[in-house]
Amino acid sequence: MKTMGIRLAVVLGLILAAQALAAQEQRVPSAWTPATPSAQGQPRGYVEYQKFCSQCHGQGVGKPGTLALADKYKGEKPALLEKRTDLTPEIVKIFVRNGISVMPFFRKTEISDADLDAIAAYLTRNNKKP
Amino acid sequence: MRIPPGVSSKDFSSALQEFEAAVGKPWVFTSDEDLDLYRDSYSPVWNEDEEPIPSAAVAPDGVEQVQAIVRTANKYKIPLWTISTGKNLGYGGSAPRLRGSVVLDLKRMNRVLEINEKNHYALLEPGVSYFDLYQYIHERQLNVWIDPPDPGWGSPVGNSLERGGGYTPMHDHFDAVCGLEVVLPSGEVMRTGMGALPGAKTWQQYKYGFGPHVTPIFSQSSLGIVTKMGIWLLPPPEAYLSGTVMVWKHHDLIPLVEIFAELQDSGIIRGTTSFASPFWLGPPNPELDSLRASGSVKPLEDYAERKKIPYWSLPLPFYGPAKVVAAQWEYAKEKFSSIPGVTFQDGPSHRFPLGAEELAKIPDTVPLGIPSLHIFSLLPPGSQGHIGFSPILPMSGEALLEAMTVFDRVHSELGAGRAALVVLTSFPRALVIIDLFPVERNVERNRKTREIYRRLIKEAAAHGWGEYRTHTTFMGDISNTYSFNNHVLRRFHETIKDAVDPNGILSPGKCGIWPKHLREEKA
């Protein structure tokens, strides 16, 4: 969708009534997360995740990545990537560099290889150690 | 190694070495793996011969580095294609128009250089995203609003120069531009407007400077590389109020648009809105579409009345002091009350600043000046992208009715059902109608989409409707329709292009304007 800012709500608003319901369920009382929280005291992977991923994969209403994963997994796995414990660094990197569905691939001027390593480490931090 | 057209491998290697010397080796990309990231993720020509894959990408971190790259490009006649954040998805993304161009990726130039809270403007580099800018303002609690387009990952500089639109009273993005710094094809740095006066104190406060006003020729343009841009911001309004006007007969659209136009042109409605109808706009619906088979509007009007679903509806956004927006909504209701049977519904209202809890409940924050990616959640699961055909229409119900009929006929004749249309009021005194197409990683389906798209271009032009902006794939087609007096406008553009960019190094093919050495081949 474009940067022009075409409001597709009118066209597509009726399409995904089911997703709208999912959005209701996703509502959380926590504060809206600003685009990039302060870097102070946070690991690099967290900061980069907030900067490049959370607008789509964060918690709260209107987060298309989270909604899409809720639709895909239907409760079998957490819709929030930050709550997953089964991701591998490799799979995180594959999705960021190849994209999926409407998620485009990200260039290295946006997310450098080092930033991507940090994001992958952040998203796999809760995995069980082998 | 991929090589730009018409450039020897020896010259290209020399150019790459000079690019590396200018920006540092890590910021010159030549491997297939890295260059694949510069393909257009929403390409309607994905994996086809005409897909414009670049030969390299180079990412400077400052104006001097841009100048050095341009001088090298001139020396070896390397075509450069400039991107800001590279998120112009639906219009080409980060991919060039000409296959083999070197992408000049300005994402690293991401500094917010100034925000002025008293005169409400910013001076930005092109790599700043709407998210970045909002974050910068939010962290410092500055007294300004930005106007994001639907997806917030794009660049205010790039979007404004592409003449995009948003939703708040600053919704006409190019109209908010005030003063540019441009690296010219010669490598010289020029400042437009008051910026041409050394030590000017009003570069971002007065657009025109002295003499011919050239800022607009750098929009949708290949005449320079914008390295800084002034943009006017909005003082945060006290309140937002919305209300919806609903009318019930087919031809009520005509007074609905007419009254809206008067309110908008009077400054009473200052934000962007969109018209809605279950029969004519939005996603196709087989049940409702079948009601149109008779060619009469009577079954549609009967359905609307029976189901209590308005035939046309128009949500109105109001921004300003709480007392004023309430009065504006009351006044608007008075005006629309001249349409028999009209009904009204109050919509969401907010006072600013929003509390965190209130904010967390608003799915779509874009009309409130907060960038988001919410719009993507409205796409069907499995979508892979989209493009839109988006001509400018007169601000009239008659024009809208005619356009909807024409678009539907073209879709139907080409076996594509009914068009999925959106109508926006993003620009003053005109409507934008958008016909949305999915793009897929499927050659045959994309070919069909292109066939319909190109037919629409011709039909629309025959009715006097031209696109405001388009995907790189269709830039030549659209340019061909702006043909008054034997294409004098394009010939004028070409005269300027040849004069300021004699080697044709900047964004060849942008908006159908090719440099001299490619003109015959690409015509």
Residues of B labelled catalytic: 91, 468-469
Q: Does the pLDDT value for residue B35 go beyond 90?
A: yes
Last residue of a domain, one of B85, B105, B125: B105
One domain, residues B143 and B74:
no
Q: Does the pLDDT value for residue B272 go beyond 90?
A: yes
Query: How high is the pLDDT of residue A4?
Result: 39
**Average pLDDT of the residues in A30-56:** 72
Q: Does the pLDDT value for residue B517 go beyond 90?
A: yes
One domain, residues B188 and B254:
no
Q: Does the pLDDT value for residue A27 go beyond 70?
A: no
Query: How high is the pLDDT of residue A2?
Result: 41
**Average pLDDT of the residues in A71-89:** 96
Contact B219, A4 (CB under 8 A): no
- Please check whether residue A2 touches B, CB under 8 A: yes
From B15-19, B90-94, B171-175, B363-367, the region with the lowest mean pLDDT: B363-367
From B273-282, B317-326, B374-383, the region with the lowest mean pLDDT: B374-383
Beta bridge pairs of residue B392 = B432, B466
**Average pLDDT of the residues in B197-210:** 97
Which strand (E) or helix (H) includes residue B412?
helix B397-413
Q: Does the pLDDT value for residue B189 go beyond 70?
A: yes
- Please report whether residue A33 resides in a domain: yes
Q: Does the pLDDT value for residue B211 go beyond 70?
A: yes
- Give B492's pLDDT tier (boundaries 50, 70, 90): very high
- Please report whether residue A58 resides in a domain: yes
Last residue of a domain, one of B58, B87, B105: B105
User: Rounded to an integer, what distance in angstroms lies between the CA atom of residue B258 and that of residue B341?
Assistant: 17
One domain, residues B338 and B285:
yes
One domain, residues B515 and B401:
no
Q: What ipTM goes with this model? A: 0.94
One domain, residues B409 and B264:
yes
SS3 of residue A21 by DSSP: helix
**Pairwise pLDDT comparison (A58 vs B381), residue with the higher score:** A58
**Average pLDDT of the residues in A32-54:** 74
One domain, residues B122 and B179:
yes
Of B165, B375, B382, Cβ closest to residue A1 = B375
Query: How high is the pLDDT of residue A40?
Result: 65
Instruction: Identify the domain containing residue A44 by its residue range.
Output: 9-123
User: Rounded to an integer, what distance in angstroms lies between the CA atom of residue A87 and that of residue A89?
Assistant: 7
Query: How high is the pLDDT of residue A19?
Result: 29
Q: Which residues of B touch A72 (CB under 8 A)?
A: 381
Q: Cα B197 to chain center, whole Å?
A: 31
Half-sphere exposure of B489 (CA within 13 A, CB side): 10
Please tell me the distance in Å from A19's CA to the nearest CA on chain B: 8
- What are the backbone angles phi and psi of residue B383, rounded to the nearest 5°? -55, 145
Instruction: Of B422, B188, B347, B211, give the one whose Cα is nearest residue A10.
Output: B422
One domain, residues B463 and B488:
no
The structural domain count of chain A equals 1
Of A23, A29, A108, Cβ closest to residue B34 = A108
Give me chain B's average pLDDT, please. 96
Instruction: Of B239, B396, B242, B237, give the one whose Cα is nearest residue B316.
Output: B242
Instruction: Of B512, B385, B476, give the one whose Cα is nearest residue B46.
Output: B385
- Give A31's pLDDT tier (boundaries 50, 70, 90): very low
- Please report whether residue B1 resides in a domain: no
Q: Does the pLDDT value for residue A33 go beyond 50?
A: no
In single-letter form, the type of residue at position B126 comes to: P
Pairing of strands B343-351, B239-247: antiparallel
- Please report whether residue A34 resides in a domain: yes
**Average pLDDT of the residues in B455-479:** 98
One domain, residues B225 and B300:
no
User: Rounded to an integer, what distance in angstroms lies between the CA atom of residue B60 and that of residue B24?
Assistant: 9
- Please report whether residue B4 resides in a domain: no
**Average pLDDT of the residues in A111-123:** 97
Query: Residue A36 belongs to a domain with what CATH number?
Result: 1.10.760.10
One domain, residues B84 and B54:
yes
- Please report whether residue B395 resides in a domain: yes
Query: How high is the pLDDT of residue B371?
Result: 96
Q: Does the pLDDT value for residue A24 go beyond 70?
A: no
b/e sequence B200-219, b meaning 16+ C-beta within 10 Å? beebbbebebeeeebbebbb
- What are the backbone angles phi and psi of residue A25, rounded to the nearest 5°? -70, -25
User: Rounded to an integer, what distance in angstroms lies between the CA atom of residue B401 and that of residue B393?
Assistant: 11
Contact B457, B467 (CB under 8 A): yes
One domain, residues B291 and B435:
yes
How do residues A8-23 score in pLDDT, each as one tens digit?
Answer: 444 444 333 322 333 3
Could you tell me the two tokens for B229? 């841009």
- Please report whether residue A82 resides in a domain: yes
Query: Residue B515 belongs to a domain with what CATH number?
Result: 1.10.45.10
- Please report whether residue A112 resides in a domain: yes
Q: Does the pLDDT value for residue A106 go beyond 90?
A: yes
One domain, residues B274 and B344:
yes
**Average pLDDT of the residues in B495-514:** 98
- Helix A113-123 with A44-52: angle, nearest 10 deg: 100
- Please report whether residue A119 resides in a domain: yes
Query: How high is the pLDDT of residue B383?
Result: 81
- Give B429's pLDDT tier (boundaries 50, 70, 90): very high
Query: How high is the pLDDT of residue B520?
Result: 87
Please judge whether B162 and A4 are an interchain contact, meaning their C-beta atoms are less than 8 angstroms apart.
Answer: yes
Instruction: Identify the domain containing residue B124 by its residue range.
Output: 112-232
Query: Residue B161 belongs to a domain with what CATH number?
Result: 3.30.465.10
Pairing of strands B102-105, B80-83: parallel
One domain, residues B386 and B459:
yes
Last residue of a domain, one of B447, B469, B491: B469
- Give B382's pLDDT tier (boundaries 50, 70, 90): confident
The structural domain count of chain B equals 4
**Average pLDDT of the residues in B162-183:** 98
Q: Does the pLDDT value for residue B474 go beyond 50?
A: yes
Q: Does the pLDDT value for residue B460 go beyond 80?
A: yes
Contact B176, B168 (CB under 8 A): no
- Helix B253-265 with B322-336: angle, nearest 10 deg: 150
Please judge whether A101 and B362 are an interchain contact, meaning their C-beta atoms are less than 8 angstroms apart.
Answer: no
**Average pLDDT of the residues in B189-216:** 98
Query: How high is the pLDDT of residue A15?
Result: 34
Of A4, A7, A12, Cβ closest to residue B274 = A7
**Average pLDDT of the residues in B211-226:** 98
Interface test with B, best of A24, A74, A109, A112 (most B CBs within 10 A): A109
Please tell me the distance in Å from A24's CA to the nearest CA on chain B: 9
Q: Cα angle at B89 between B87 and B95, to 5 degrees? A: 80
Query: Residue B101 belongs to a domain with what CATH number?
Result: 3.30.43.10
Query: How high is the pLDDT of residue B292?
Result: 85
